[in-house]
């Protein structure tokens, strides 16, 4: 089977690595000259609005998917009108707009922080009076890894936030004093079958995910699964969906969804019976879903900006290294490692050793 992927970044790269043992071949469409997934398949080097290139893409593959949620809506609609595109474009439409996301969560009775759309400076004042401070002002579209948002803690913060973000549609959200951040990775097959990975505890710094650790038997696992089920069934979703939550007062509050494989699930390559990447491919190709059971204790550590030396990391037992083929650059995800262990204490020790190496490289 030939599988098309809109985008050719590291997620596309890992999808291809998971797909070759299943005898899948890959075609990527991406405007980047040095797209890191390109060596793993055919690379159609073109803009997403190039209809000639899109037509070539569609006749080359049996089914298509995407590896990031900012694929233009017209591109998704063009592809979906010619071949199966999974998940369907409606998932992109929702995932690309924070107001659409929050509105969907409301309709599905999924708890969310209070929010209001903001289109003008006056509307920002009204939203702050209604929601209160602290609050977070966010762009409705294109924000990622902490970009496109500003925390408002006092009335004096409004002018600077508006100067930074006010040229585009915005949303103001109440600040959630969360204890932890969790994500739930769910996968839904073509016939509606569902599978869930254990919820993952995420640690961010400077808005970028640093570590992700599966938490089996977490008391909020059932709630996270239920909320993910509501969203995937409502959207007729096929594939892996990541649902990010804040935990506050023992409850889940929905933050956002990512309609694709997700950074917080990278540990599953070595840490689960079936990785999120293989399960996404199984879902969109119509194969039975694989087991999401854990193989032991594991966690994921991102390499931001640069990666430690392979020799240093390989000296730590249970460390599995994944480079993305990207040029080192500040604040850029250039790779990750999965740390595996037979016990929680052993995992903690190995994780601390790896994180020390990562911090030394980040400076």
pLDDT digits (tens, 9 = 90+) for 30-88: 999 889 999 999 999 999 999 999 999 999 999 999 998 889 989 999 999 999 999 99
pLDDT digits (tens, 9 = 90+) for 232-264: 999 999 999 999 999 999 999 999 999 999 999
What is the three-state SS of the chain? CEEEEECCCHHHHHHHHHHHHHCCEEEEEECCCCCCCHHHCEEEECCCCCHHHHHHHHHHCCEEEECCCCCCHHHHHHHHCCCCECCCHHHHHHHCCHHHHHHHHHHCCCCCCCEEEECCHHHHHHHHHHHCCCEEEEECCCCCCCCCEEEECCCCHHHHHHHHHCCCCEEEEECCCCCEEEEEEEEECCCCCEEECCCEEEEEECCEEEEEEECCCCCCHHHHHHHHHHHHHHHCCCEEEEEEEEEECCEEEEEEEECCCCHHHCCHHHHECCCHHHHHHHHHHCCCCCCCCECCEEEEEEEECCCCCHHHHHCCCCEEEEECCCCCCCCCEEEEEEEEECCHHHHHHHHHHHHHHHHHHHC
pLDDT at 145 over 70: no
pLDDT at 300 over 90: yes
Q: Which residue segments constitute the domains of the chain, with CATH numbers given?
A: 2-85 (3.40.50.20), 114-174 (3.30.1490.20), 180-362 (3.30.470.20)
Whose tokens are 């990512």? That residue is 258
pLDDT digits (tens, 9 = 90+) for 330-350: 989 999 999 999 999 999 999
Q: Mean pLDDT over all residues of the chain?
A: 95
Q: What does the pLDDT read at residue 166?
A: 85
pLDDT at 167 over 90: no
Band of pLDDT at residue 143, cut at 50, 70 and 90: low
């Amino acid at each position: 089977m030939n599988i098309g992927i809109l985008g050719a970044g590291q997620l596309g790269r890992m999808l291809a690595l998971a797909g070759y043992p299943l005898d899948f071949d890959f075609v990527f469409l991406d405007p980047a000259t040095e797209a890191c997934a390109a060596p793993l398949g055919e690379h159609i080097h073109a803009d997403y609005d190039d209809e000639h290139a899109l037509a070539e893409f569609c006749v080359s593959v049996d089914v298509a998917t995407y590896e990031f949620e900012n694929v233009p809506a017209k591109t998704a609609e063009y592809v979906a009108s010619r071949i199966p595109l999974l998940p369907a474009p409606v998932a992109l439409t929702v995932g690309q707009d924070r107001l659409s996301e929050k509105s969907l969560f409301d309709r599905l009775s999924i708890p969310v922080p209070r929010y209001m759309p903001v289109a003008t400076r006056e509307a920002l004042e009204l939203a702050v009076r209604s929601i209160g401070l602290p609050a977070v002002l966010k762009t409705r579209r294109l924000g990622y890894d902490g970009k496109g948002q500003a925390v408002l803690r006092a009335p004096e913060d409004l002018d600077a936030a508006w100067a930074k973000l006010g040229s585009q549609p915005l949303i103001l959200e109440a600040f959630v004093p969360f204890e932890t951040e969790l994500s739930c990775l769910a996968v839904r097959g073509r016939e509606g079958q569902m599978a869930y990975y254990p919820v993952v505890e995420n640690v961010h710094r400077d808005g970028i995910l640093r570590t992700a650790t599966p938490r089996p038997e977490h008391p909020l696992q059932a709630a996270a699964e239920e909320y993910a089920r509501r969203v995937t069934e409502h959207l007729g979703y096929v594939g892996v969906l990541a649902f990010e939550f804040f935990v506050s007062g023992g409850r889940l509050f929905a933050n956002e969804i990512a309609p694709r494989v997700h950074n917080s699930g990278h540990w599953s390559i070595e840490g689960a019976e079936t990785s999120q990447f293989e399960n996404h491919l199984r879902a969109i190709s119509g194969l039975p879903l694989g087991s999401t059971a854990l193989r032991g204790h594991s966690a994921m550590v991102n390499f931001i900006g640069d990666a430690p030396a392979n020799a240093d990391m390989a000296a730590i037992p249970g460390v599995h290294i994944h480079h993305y083929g990207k040029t080192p650059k500040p604040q850029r995800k250039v790779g990750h490692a999965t740390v595996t262990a037979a016990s929680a204490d052993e995992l903690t020790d190995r994780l601390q050793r790896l994180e020390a190496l990562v911090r030394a490289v980040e400076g």
